[in-house]
């Protein structure tokens, strides 16, 4: 099976997503331990978020998503399917932050661009 080289934006998104998933897993594990030991407070949750790097990982993921989506919108503009459905596709990109399911679909599609 031939591996295709990812574009810079695809690689950055993939790496940011992996960092977020690792930070989130660490946060969830520590939170579970805190729950076993007693009451979870807002301060403790904030401490765990800071300790695990979850906040930074989420911010990095958001930046990588934005970059990936901007890149993908530019990359598809000469594609036949895009040209035939330009208004509908552009509308999807315009409302991307208002509908998480559209955003997820566009991110999946962007990761498949060669």
Average pLDDT for consecutive 10-residue bins of the chain (114 residues)?
A: 79 98 98 93 96 98 97 92 91 91 93 90
Check residue 4 and give its pLDDT. Answer: 72
Check residue 3 and give its pLDDT. Answer: 56
CA distances from 89 to 48, 73, 102, 107 (A): 40, 9, 11, 13
CA distances from 1 to 7, 111, 113, 114 (A): 19, 18, 17, 15
Check residue 1 and give its pLDDT. Answer: 45
- Sequence length of the chain is 114
Check residue 114 and give its pLDDT. Answer: 83
């Amino acid at each position: 099976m031939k591996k295709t080289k990812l574009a810079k934006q695809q690689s950055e998104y993939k790496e940011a997503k992996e960092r977020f998933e690792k930070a989130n897993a660490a946060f969830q594990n520590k939170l579970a331990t805190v729950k076993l030991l007693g009451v979870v407070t807002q301060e403790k949750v904030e401490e765990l978020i800071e300790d695990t790097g979850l906040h930074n990982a989420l911010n990095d993921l958001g930046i990588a998503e934005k970059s990936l989506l901007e890149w993908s919108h530019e990359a598809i503009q000469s594609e036949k399917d895009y040209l035939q459905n330009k208004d509908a596709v552009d509308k999807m990109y315009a409302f991307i932050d208002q509908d998480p399911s559209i955003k997820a679909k566009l991110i999946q599609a962007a990761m498949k661009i060669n």
